[in-house]
Each structure stands twice: as structure tokens, then as C-alpha cells.
Amino acid sequence: MDRNFYKQFRKAGTLFIAAGFLMFSSCKKDSETANTGLKYGITGIEPLTAGSGDTVKVYGVGFKASADGNQVKINGVDAKVVAATSEVLNVVVPTAPKTGKVTVQTDSQSSTFDQEFNLTTVLSGNQAASINLSPEKLYLLRGAVHMAKGTVLTIQAGTIILAEKATYASLTIDDGATIVVNGTADKPVVFSSNQPIGLRSPGDWTGIILKASTSTDANDVINYVRIEYAGYHLSNAAGAALLINRGTVGGKIANVQASYSGGDGFRCNAGTGTTGYFKYLFAFGCAGNDFDFAGGSRVIAQFLVGLKDPLYADQFGADGLLVQSSQPVTITNLTLMGPNGLARNAVINPPNYNYYRNYDDILNPRAGRGVHIGGINYTTGQPQSGTLQLFNSVIAASWLAGISLDGQQVWSRYGNGADGSVIKYSSFTYTLATVDNTLNHDVPPLRGYIFSGENLRNATSGFESSANTAQAANFNASNDSLKLQLTTPFLAATNPNATYDELGIANMALYSKISSPLMIPATASLLLSGAIFTDSQLSDSFIDKTQKFRGAFGAVDWTRSWCNFVPQQTPYK
């Protein structure tokens, strides 16, 4: 697989790759080459996270070239040196406290490395017995880890589980097994890459997989959990940070953040006869689809957020929401913030003309739609249908289209209450670099309009205007569009400096705030009221009908204290 395909972007992205490469190269050099100004001491350790019994390399200067000529302590415990040169010691990690320093003593000289070493408890292979993970230990997933039928994986609040990049680690809960993750807002459970700060990347590991279950009473619990830098996948298959192939009990998969996945953030591909219930899910910086609902599962979800980082887009799709399930997908209070450069103020060196035509230095060329219903199964190549019932939501800063009804079947059924998609009480944004009307725009950045048919004549015919169609009339009657434009360097001379934030969401949209986005809409925002829950599609008791705001946030930021928007800089120990 081409490990760089996530980052095929121009200028700014290329500089990002170059900087990352240089960072990696200099780190490697520090670990393997003695500092010429140093007479004795440790210059690097590889890796800095390992399990008891693993062999690590301690790089330095002035060691004795014999295994018994150097004494090494890891986290205060003696460690065996199994091979030695004057610059490299091969050391077996002992059983020791989970975090501490590495010290080498050679005769009367001693050196302690400035970075802490993390000792992990390694989980690998098939687990035939139940396991209880606690925050007193640091854990490492190595390779494909499977919880076998009849077992329960329990993870206590505050536990940290790292995943090994070298083996593209994964955690699979097999049919008949159960996962119970009871994090809290103050002590979330964290799954992240085992790579050091500054060297973590989307797709470092595979992710968490809940396999299809023959039981109709799944009791999985995933609550207050962060999943970072997962989503590794081959070039012929999609990936996801959290892949759910079974039904879920209402309210038990909630408060989960998937950050910088190399594939989808959340993907539900459960079979016919199952139902997935989801609340408070946050897809942050994911290269693939933020939310992907496929298979044959009925889905009911509320309070979902997708916040794109324009640098990243996956070859298997980079939409905010993809719906291809054969059963209805009902979502209310969804907020999607797409990668549009003008809306996000993420444009570098813009051209000097009035229309914004395919030019955005930060935007990855694979950037997708806000909401995508139907389309093609990228793995099988087969056309897919889908039914989405979307209410009380915000679709902002889209690129290819705000809403895409992909395929003649999806298009023809739109607005049919019996079996077609319906979108109501929702807000969509556009910029002034498009044709000056409200819901239909025929030039970039909304290349497929706010509301559009796609591939209606054949599988590759592309976007088509919805003007003067019954579908557009239905959509326009119960939704609104407003301006979101935070960059205005090249508009028409009549209004060259105007910026617009008609929904009061600039503090979430601004790309400069991606490491500290403010979720709550501005005071007096239209989104703080106007939610309607009277439609029959919202009758399920799982849906909280007491909230009156549109989108995922009202006056309370439910991400506070447990979500992390700087995972690249967070030390885990």
C-alpha cells in the first residue's frame, strides 16, 4: 500500500510531508549516530515504548563493546544487555514500572536519557479468557488481537492502550465476545498510535472491529473513548477507526471521538435485522468518510459531529456522511464541517480572479461531499442505494456538494415518505464565489450544488442541476441556506473585503482553530432554536426531543474535558 496516499495535496501539504520526513530523518540520525561533541552518554532509544521481554536499542557514545561491560536500568530495574558495541546496546526490557528513565553505567561514567521510557503490557493473538485492563498499566496492541467467543474485554476509566504501527495492530471483538469500555468525561479511555510525539500519522494502526454477531442481544459498551490514528487499510479495501458489524443497544455506544483515521471515522456495516443506536460521536480530521452507514442495518443516531482537516482525504471517499444501508438511516442533530477553503479560511496564494475554480492549496484533491446518499461500493464496484432521514442538522463548508443523491433510484425516491430520503429543518452554507443564489450553485467550491442529483444517467455522468425539479422544491421548502465565507481575497471589486458567518459558527470553521475549535454557536445564532421533532421518523424513544437547537451543539459543549484536538502533541504514559 502507498502509505502517502492520504496526503496527496499541493504546496502546503507537500511542505507538511517534507517537514515530517525531515523530522523523521533527524530523529533516526540522533538515534543511530553518535554526537561528535559528546564523550559519553545516551543519544537515543528505539523504540521508546515496548513490552517486558522485548529487545530495545540504546544508542550512545563511549559504551564498552561487551555485553557485561555496561549496566542498564529501565524505569529503575536492572535490564539485561545481550549485545554491545561502543555505540549500540541491545537490551531486554525487564518487568518494571510502566514509565521511567533509562540509565546506562559504564565503569565510573553514568548517563540517563532525557525522554521517558514507557513499559507496556503486550496484548497479541487470540485471547481465550476474559481480560480486565486498568489504568495502572500501559498496554500495547501487537498485530491482530482477537477476543474469542465467550470472553469479555473490560477496560476501566483512564486506561491507555497504544497500538503498534509496525504490525498495523487491530482489536477485534469476535462473534460471541463482548467489549465493555467504561470511560468517564474526566478519565476517558484512549486508543492511540505507539509512535512518538510528532511522528504519528493517519493509518498507523487498523482500529477496533466489532464482528457480526449471531446474538440479537449485543451488550457491547463503548463510552467516553478516544480512538486516534487508526484506519489503516490496503489499497483495495476501506478502513475505519471503529467498524461496527453488529447491532448495538441504545445508548451504549456514545461519547466516542475518532481522530485522524486513515479511513472512515465510524463505519456501521451490520446485517439486515440489526439496529445501531449512536449518540455523541465525533469524527475529527478523518481522511475517509466521517460516518459511513452501509450493509443492512437500521440506524438511529443523534448528536454527531464531523470536522474535516482539509489536508486529508482517502481514495475510498472523504464525505462527511455516506449512506448506503438497505434500511433507513435516521439522524438528527448532525453537524458536518467540510474542507472548503473559502469557508474555513484555509486558502493559500489565491488566484486573482473572481470565481474560485478548483484552487485551494490546502485542500486535498480527493475531498468529498457533505452528505452522500447511494453511489458506488468502492470495494465491489457495485451501485448502492440508501435512505436517509435527516433532521435538525448543519452541513457547512462542503466541497463537491452539500447533498448528493447518487443514482437514479435514490433520486427518484427523494421526498417519498414511505421509502425515500427526506431532509428537513436543516441549514446549509455556501460562499459568494459561487453563482449568487441560495440553494443551487454551479461552480466551485460547491461543484455539485448544495442539493444535487449525481450520476443519474449512468455511473459516471456526474453532478446535475436540480433546478425546477420536484426534489429541489421539496428540499427547499423545509431547509435554508446561509453564507459561510471567512476568506475574501479575490471577490468581485464591488465587495472585496466582506466575510460572512450567518450561522455563527466561525469559531468551529476557522482552520486556524483546528487545534482548539469552539463548538457552541455564537450568541443569537439561528441554530440555538428551531429544532422540530414532530415527524414520524423521529418517534423512537432513543431520540432526545427536549433539545431545541439544530446541529450537535446548543449552549453546552459536550466535548469538553474528554475530547482531544491535539493528539499529535499528547504524551501517553
Let me know: does 205 contact 169? Beta carbons within 8 Å. yes
Asked whether the CA dihedral 524, 528, 532, 537 is positive or negative, the reply is: positive
Let me know: does 197 contact 570? Beta carbons within 8 Å. yes
Q: What's the pLDDT score for residue 545? A: 97
Range 385-397 burial, b when 16+ CB lie within 10 A, else e: bbbbbbbbbbbbb
Task: Give 356-379 pLDDT, tens digit per residue.
Answer: 444 455 778 889 999 999 998 777
Return the half-sphere exposure (C-beta side, CA atoms, 13 A cut-off) of residue 206: 20
Query: What backbone phi and psi angles, to 5 degrees, belong to 18?
Result: -60, -45
Which residues in the chain land under pLDDT 70? 1-36, 216-217, 348-361, 432-448, 488-498
Q: How far apart are CA 117 and CA 45, in angstroms?
A: 8
Nearest CA to 297 out of 266, 325, 331 is that of: 325
* Predicted model pTM: 0.88
Own/partner pairs for 240-243, CB < 8 Å, 24+ apart?
A: 240/207, 240/264, 240/265, 240/266, 240/267, 240/288, 240/292, 241/207, 241/208, 241/265, 241/266, 241/286, 242/207, 242/208, 242/210, 242/266, 242/267, 243/207, 243/208, 243/209, 243/210, 243/267, 243/269
Q: How far apart are CA 57 and CA 139, in angstroms?
A: 20
Amino acid at position 141, single letter:
L
Range 160-178 burial, b when 16+ CB lie within 10 A, else e: bbbbbbebbbbbbbbeebb
Nearest CA to 430 out of 531, 355, 502, 367 is that of: 502
Burial class (CB in 10 A: 0-12, 13-18, 19+), 77: middle
Q: What's the pLDDT score for residue 516? A: 96
Task: Please name each of the domains of the chain with its CATH number.
Answer: 41-108 (2.60.40.10), 120-346+359-409+420-437+445-455+480-568 (no CATH)
Q: Which three cell numbers stand for residue 278?
A: 449512536
Return the half-sphere exposure (C-beta side, CA atoms, 13 A cut-off) of residue 16: 19
Grid look-up 441554530 returns 527
Q: What's the pLDDT score for residue 448? A: 56
Grid look-up 493473538 returns 125
Nearest CA to 401 out of 464, 314, 326, 313 is that of: 464
Q: What's the pLDDT score for residue 236? A: 79
DSSP symbols for 429-496:
EE-TTS-SSSS---STTSTT-SEEEESSSSTT--EE--TT-HHHHHHHHTEEEEEEE---SSS-TTST
Q: What's the pLDDT score for residue 30? A: 40
Instruction: List residues bridging with 104 in a β-sheet.
Output: 72, 111
Three-state secondary structure along 96-158?
CCCEECEEEEECCEEEECCCCEEEEEEEEEEECCCEEECCCCEEEEEEEEEECCCCEEEEECC
Own/partner pairs for 8-15, CB < 8 Å, 24+ apart?
A: 8/364, 8/365, 8/366, 9/310, 9/311, 9/313, 9/361, 9/362, 9/363, 9/364, 9/365, 10/361, 10/365, 11/348, 11/349, 11/361, 12/311, 12/348, 12/361, 12/362, 13/311, 13/361, 13/362, 13/364
